[in-house]
Structure 1
């Protein structure tokens, strides 16, 4: 059966499985070896060359999920992002980066690129015209992130991809917030799709990994940098990730539903100034999100200006105030002290990240329990504020 015609749950469960030829087990066997024969073999295998049995099997699954020809799996999302960027950039080149983006990617750009003689510029916004304005004769890469972290801005994927193609520029996207369940950028013309697999692919807050998917031609270019930088993933983690992805479609759809209900609840809350979620009709790019997403995702953010956020976090009983996102458990963070702490206050302000912004990753719990947790925490903080 053509993998493009298989359902999402079928792809997640079966694509790229390794056959247990010895014992006929139903799950992929785990090959822990880091040393393989080099004589009389078709493939000389070595973990840093991304071609061990478990690595190859997982990459087939990842490529199928992103409608790509090939994939590579890395030790973290930033390993995937930095390796992909350095694969297509060299001294004298220029990259255009979206203004609203993950703080770790921003930090990599502003602290590392100039060391290698690579110039960069950030867009003023996230419309296609904003990217076009920043293109120079030496621009080699356009980098976007949609929905963005943490404000869930939506970028026109097809528009930016076409702009890049017209100019002979490689287009890249961080697709982490959407996951392959909600969005497939290659279908819209993007060249290279990146993920922190730590998030929705792992889904249980116990795996750290990154993914690059693309055409075989582009993956071959990334591979040449990858074998030098050495960001490969351990075999056991590869096996765990392959196992976790089997339930990704089910998990993400449940998280989509929870996020939509939570966004509607928060949008009506007296203490909430603004909710950032592309599923809301009030979101400025709701129609664009509808046109390029299969679901609006499990992530949202909201402004809580009149409640002490540090106290709010402390009084939560169910929702966990921890770093990272996309696990089966609901979590919250303050971007100014975590994901975007390395940005200057001025740059955060430019992106619209306020000190009282809360990023909310919806898990799979019952929505009524999550709402009750928020209500009781706000009530306690308000009571403490009055008594003080």
Structure 2
């Protein structure tokens, strides 16, 4: 476990993972943009594609400290992180069990690429423990989960899945992007590997594309051996920007989480909203589980307008909230998952996991609640039923 576990969240965000400016004693990390480093008589032979430039190395320390892991790696995108992780632990003849409520890009990667490598996989029928138990085979090597899931905010019992997997000698991984380490620490619940689209809450300002995996030193070594060949490293300028952004991770996410809970309750009582998906609502089927394994319910929610309202026209009428791809920026955004995050799935596949064309995913920002409510109401008011 990380030796920084006893430090407070904002202390880790502000201080761990800084590159010390030994020459000029500056207050922030200097940027090392070199792609060529000395190799004779040095402890570390540094090269950007080897994930070990000074900025890359130290930012990994911050992520490991936040996730309570031994170490971590930074990648060029969330998909670079998860694909490298999968390929490090799965080979021809192996089997992956993966949760059915999952980010569309991950689903597409598995379906498009795994057959080329001879890797078998099974999507669970649900996200309960018994669904994972039913899906394993004698050659299962990894179970991958996502909780809260994108975009329906389903909650999987992390501790139960991890315990079951360990009893079978199977590794586990989780996409912790939606919760972030501010609201959930899967390693403390028994998960082996934690990945993030660092584009989201780690970046937090909608100007960075990155990914991360945090785990034991042994697991990261295996991921590194594959990663250096695939070449999914991140430029040091972006690494520096990401480290700067993460200094305010705790402050941003806690504010966004507080806003999301208030808006979820408000939308849940709105006459023009038919359904709200948010684990912080007592009506959410896994509310009690979320309460046990999360320190906060997250800043993401989804909702469906009543059938007589056009969800796309609603988004076009918004003035403050942006209809914009991605999520987790300080500004609030909304999207239709069937046109964006899950557009690569077929209509049948979306229907099977409950993603309707009325569904709107809401990434809640740091704005004042009253302003967000006003914007939603004015947009609804312009629609014809």
Shared fold by TM > 0.5?
A: yes
Alignment partner of 1:160 is 2:135? no
The alignment partner of 2:250 has SS state of: helix
- The alpha-carbon deviation at position 79 of structure 1 amounts to 0.3
Number of the residue aligned with 1:253: 254
Number of the residue aligned with 1:208: 209
Number of the residue aligned with 1:362: 364
Q: Which whole-Å CA distance do the structure 2 matches of 1:22 and 1:191 have between them?
A: 39
Q: Which whole-Å CA distance do the structure 2 matches of 1:249 and 1:220 have between them?
A: 28
Q: Which whole-Å CA distance do the structure 1 matches of 2:20 and 2:38 have between them?
A: 20
Alignment partner of 1:111 is 2:112? yes
1:320 to 319, 322, 339: 322
Number of the residue aligned with 1:310: 312
Number of the residue aligned with 1:329: 331
Number of the residue aligned with 2:286: 285
The alignment partner of 1:347 has SS state of: helix
- The alpha-carbon deviation at position 282 of structure 1 amounts to 0.5
- 1:138-190 CA-to-partner distances (Å, cap 9, x unmatched) read 11110000000000000000011111111111100000000010000000010
Conserved 8 A contact 2:60-2:74: yes
Number of the residue aligned with 2:123: 122
Q: In the TM superposition, what are the counterparts of 1:1-388 in structure 2 within 5 Å?
A: 2-304=3-305, 305-382=307-384, 385=385
Conserved 8 A contact 1:276-1:283: yes
Q: Which whole-Å CA distance do the structure 2 matches of 1:271 and 1:367 have between them?
A: 18
Q: Give the aligned CA root-mean-square deviation in angstroms.
A: 0.9
Unaligned runs of 5+ in 2: none
Q: Which whole-Å CA distance do the structure 2 matches of 1:57 and 1:198 have between them?
A: 18
Write out the 4+ residue segments of structure 1 that deviate beyond 4 Å after TM superposition. none
Q: TM-score, normalising length from structure 1? A: 0.98
- The alpha-carbon deviation at position 306 of structure 1 amounts to 2.3
Q: Which whole-Å CA distance do the structure 2 matches of 1:242 and 1:307 have between them?
A: 42
- The alpha-carbon deviation at position 90 of structure 1 amounts to 0.4
The alignment partner of 2:237 has SS state of: helix
Q: Which whole-Å CA distance do the structure 2 matches of 1:131 and 1:377 have between them?
A: 42
Q: Which whole-Å CA distance do the structure 1 matches of 2:209 and 2:181 have between them?
A: 17
The count of residues paired between Structure 1 and Structure 2 equals: 383
Conserved 8 A contact 2:95-2:140: yes
- The alpha-carbon deviation at position 197 of structure 1 amounts to 0.2
The alignment partner of 2:273 has SS state of: coil
Conserved 8 A contact 1:172-1:192: yes
Q: Which whole-Å CA distance do the structure 1 matches of 2:250 and 2:302 have between them?
A: 22
Q: Which whole-Å CA distance do the structure 2 matches of 1:167 and 1:122 have between them?
A: 18
The alignment partner of 1:108 has SS state of: helix
Conserved 8 A contact 1:141-1:169: yes
Q: Which whole-Å CA distance do the structure 1 matches of 2:254 and 2:316 have between them?
A: 29
- 1:240-296 CA-to-partner distances (Å, cap 9, x unmatched) read 000000000000000001100100010001111110000000000000001000100
Q: Relative to structure 2, which stretch is displaced further, 305-314 or 202-211? A: 305-314
